[in-house]
Structure 1
Amino acid sequence: MEVYLEGTAGPGGWPVPGCGCASCGRLAPAQRRPLSVVIDRRVRLSPYQPSAPPAPAAPPRVAASGLPDSVDTAAPPSTTPPASGDLAASPLPDGYTIRHSGDGDEIIAPDGTRLLLAFPPHPAGPYEEMREHPDPHEGPFDLVLIDLLDRPERLGRLRLRGLVASTTQVIAVGADHRVSSETELGRRLAFWGARAVPDGTVVRIAPGWAPDEVPERPKRTLVLGGSRSGKSEEAEMRVAADPHVTYVATGPSGGDDPSWLARVKAHRDRRPAHWRTVETTDLPRLLDDPPGTLLIDGLGTWLAAVFDECGAWPGQTGTAPAITPEASPAESVARRCDELVEAWRRTPGPVVAVSDEVGLGVIPATASGRLFRDALGRLNQRLAQESEDVALVVAGRPVQLPL
């Protein structure tokens, strides 16, 4: 199957003509045109303009080798011109099949290679009735074109169902000003195991074809930030396309506090439905045997709970026994932090943890505040030392912290 991406952007292109946003202002005009895909020079998919005739196809982008940009150039290109009109209004050439499902449009070429154009469901077309779940025996797709700026967790669900595997190439399409820049788009896609390509790229796949290996993500990631900095959203974005994610909530239930309950609800509403949620402060146990990717949010509330349990707040009596009868509350807290750091060091991963950056504000006015700030600052330093990746989020923008 030869797939020619003559356009890779959202319905208005990117930049959107006449748009004054910062994202569109950073790009040259018409950098990405609305999504349009031509398969084997015979079948055109233009999902954003189903009733409009296709724009003339631009020549394929040519690499330095003199061949069109592609993953596999073994298969010779077809000489048959693309069909005129959109796919829904044109008969399919012999040997091609399209299936409409809740995942999007699945196109099967005569050689058996399969492409999924993963867009929201639409009414069934004239070729086959809508099917919500592709037959599991068919295995993963060879190529998936998917709008990941909409809901990246859809890619995680495809992986969970076995429809996207290590043999599947994933290309992000539908890009537009929902993301701040091309650089930010590439950064997100690296976490999601996908890539973007420029307009005019040709991708060729054949039976038995295998994509290049996707670079491995860091095993341990620490995301720091101040209050309302966007640190939780950054951490959630990084694991959004993973198939198995366990969200570890370390904070209190909130009781009847309306403000805290609203914050908890906002976090829950952001999480994909297929994520598992665990409420616990026993982080070493989870780190020793993680059920998939761990997202710990957050270490500040974990440490506050440890202070509660150990009776470490000035004037407080602990609710849990000390590590040893002779241990003071402060020593008990230190021991719990040691256990967490050791488990973080030996975890098989992957894990992303969120923590508060407490060293940039004013000195707390209370003894309890100063004690907590110092303890969390030391814990952040120790975990950062044992992490492959550490980021500081400021006003929603992540800054990678070098070693």
Structure 2
Amino acid sequence: MELTLLGTGAPAGLPRPDCPCAACAAAVGREARAATAVLVDGALLLDLTPGPAFAAARAGHSLHGVRHVLLSHPHDGPAMEFPAGLPAPVRVPDGQELALISGHRLWAVPLDSPGTGYEVTGPDGDRLLYLPPGAAPAGLEPAPATGTSATGTSAAAPGPSGHTEPRGHIPPSEPYDLVLLDVLGRPDALARLRAYGAVGPATDIVAVHLGHDVPPGDETHRRLAAAGARAEPDGTTLVVGAYRDTPPLPRRTLVLGGARSGKSVEAERRLAAFPGVEYVATGGARDGDPEWADRVALHRERRPASWRTTETCDLVPLLAERDAPPLLVDCLALWLTDAMDSVGAWDDARWANGGARALAARVTELTGALRATDRTVVAVSNEVGSGVVPGTPAGRRFRDELGRLNAAVAGECEQVLLVVAGTVQRLRG
């Protein structure tokens, strides 16, 4: 299949008319996007963009061969234009399968929000999934391997005129060749597709429905790359199933930053599109400290419901687990505090009489485990030492040891990021 992105923006487009926000101001040239619409093999049009005939002409295509126009969501952008000669736009009922006269097969995917997604299988067997803005497939429960549905009825068989009886789930199969969805607005949708097996390592993931709530400039593309996705400008033509030399995602990432810099949010964002993340909280509980409890509660509220939380400073066994889900460690500064407590680092005599060596051994054990791990790891740490020198020997000791720990961990990571005022600077990778 060949598809052309007539538009890749949110229903209101990007930039929005008369909007002064930074994202709209930066949306010029290739970053300006009309409402998302996708032309498949010149015969099937998924959603409408303003001026679809002109959009197709700019991309070197015509709409004369379009046989079906399918809408996916309630339209809240500019008034839709229906060019003369196009079939009347329709929404296919959820779960309905159709055999189109163009040789494509279509299934209307039920969603967890208003709208309908579309699975399209081309004449050559290539498969794509198209989801509307702010949506994820509903009920990703695989059908039994016996060929019966979850309700116990037989699998759907073709009916009159190419129709089949409705089905209510994505069937077990190979991963899609191409997925188009609202990656930044619904990263959990991508995580659920990955957990189900509908998105695999070879699936081409293209972000659409990009609006003025995305970050301005290159930050959008950086966030998409962290999710294993990309955005293309309006007018781009893609061949479904074509080989793309996609750089692998970094397996070990260190995210540094000062207090309230946004480093934890960045670390969580990097794994939001992946399923089953294990969140390792090294801070633990502090009885009688309501302010700390509020901090912990804030972090918990941000995490996807599918994530599992482990409260521990014993990181080495977690890193040694094989074939385990991604690991998010927040944060190494609190891990270091616990390690320094255990070796008596705050007592000058104990520090000089073996404490420093014991701490160095703990750090070496941690970095060795990080080097050997096969898990995807995102670790958070505080960047210190740029301001006032601490007024106590213990404070200076902690500052120095945290600097050494950060450098040692960074040496084992493919990617190192520094977050300043919510803005990410890539130091490596």
Common fold: TM-score over 0.5: yes
Match of residue 88 from structure 1:
91
Runs of 4+ in 1 over 6 A off after TM superposition: 89-92
Please give the alpha-carbon distance, in whole angstroms, between the structure 2 residues aligned to 1:121 and 1:340.
Answer: 38
CA distance in 1, matches of 2:180, 2:217: 18
Query: Which of residues 244, 248, 257 in structure 2 aligns to 1:216?
Result: 248
Q: Deviations over 1:37-75 (max 9, x none)?
A: 22233332228x8xxx9733523666xxxx98xxxxxxx
Letter in 2 for 1:247: Y
Q: Which residue of 1 aligns with 2:171?
A: 135
- Deviation of 1:128 after TM superposition, in Å, equals 6.7
Counterpart residue identity of residue 224, structure 1: L
Answer yes or no: is 1:225 the counterpart of 2:225.
Answer: no
SS of the residue aligned with 2:192? Answer: helix
Q: CA deviation at 1:6?
A: 0.8
C-alpha distance 122-160 of structure 1, shift in aligned 2 (>3 A): closer
Once the two structures are superposed, the pairs formed by residues 250-289 of structure 1 within 5 Å of their partners are: 250-289=282-321
Q: CA RMSD in A?
A: 3.3
Q: Secondary structure at the match of 2:371?
A: helix
Query: 1:297: which partner in 2?
Result: 330
Is 2:425 the partner of 1:399? Answer: yes
Q: Give the TM-score normalised by the residue count of structure 2.
A: 0.77
Give the counterpart letter for 1:107 in structure 2. Answer: E
Per-residue deviation, 1:129: 4.8
**C-alpha separation in 2, matches of 1:203 and 1:330:** 58
C-alpha displacement of 1:281? 1.1
Aligned match of 1:147: 182
Partner of 2:160: none
Per the alignment, in what secondary structure is the counterpart of residue 11 of structure 1? coil
Q: Which runs of 5+ in 2 are unaligned?
A: 69-85, 139-162
- Secondary structure at the residue paired with 1:305? helix
Tell me what 1:359 maps to. Answer: 385
Kept in 2: contact 1:391–1:400 (CA 8 A): yes
What are the equivalent positions in structure 2 for 1:23-34 lying under 5 Å apart?
23-28=23-28, 31-34=32-35
1:380: how far off?
Answer: 1.0
CA change 1:401–1:168 in 2 (3 A) is: closer
Matches within 5 A, 1:160-199: 160-199=195-234
| Structure 2 letter corresponding to 1:100 | V
1:268 and 1:130 mapped to 2: Cα distance?
Answer: 36
Query: TM-score normalised to the size of structure 1?
Result: 0.82
1:296-335 equivalent positions in 2, closer than 5 A: 296-314=329-347, 328-335=354-361
2:405 paired residue number: 379
Q: Which amino acid aligns with 1:80?
A: G
Check 1:43–1:330 CA distance in 2 against 1; reply closer, same or farther (3 A cut).
same
Residue 243 of structure 1 is aligned with which of 263, 271, 275? 275
Q: CA deviation at 1:185?
A: 1.5
Shift of 1:92: 8.0
C-alpha spacing 1:54/1:254, structure 2 compared with 1 (3 Å): farther
For residue 369 of structure 1, report the CA deviation from its aligned partner.
1.9
Helix, strand or coil for the counterpart of 1:360? coil
Shift of the 192–378 alpha-carbon distance from structure 1 to 2, 3 Å rule, reads: same
**Displacement of 1:24:** 0.8
CA contact (8 A) 1:392 1:401 kept: yes
- Closer, same or farther in 2 for the Cα pair 1:219/1:113, shift >3 Å? closer
Query: Residue 189 of structure 1: SS of its match in structure 2?
Result: helix
Aligned to 2:158: none
Residue pair 2:128, 2:177 contacting (<8 A) in 1 also: yes
Counterpart of 2:344, as a letter, is: G
Q: Report the CA distance shift for 1:128/1:54 in structure 2 as closer, same or farther (over 3 A).
A: farther
- Whether 1:107 aligns to 2:119 is yes
The residue aligned with 1:73 is none
Q: 1:38, 1:44 within 8 Å by CA — same for their partners in 2?
A: yes
- Count, aligned residues: 373
Q: Secondary structure at the match of 2:5?
A: strand
Q: Is the 8 A contact 1:219 1:351 kept in 2?
A: yes
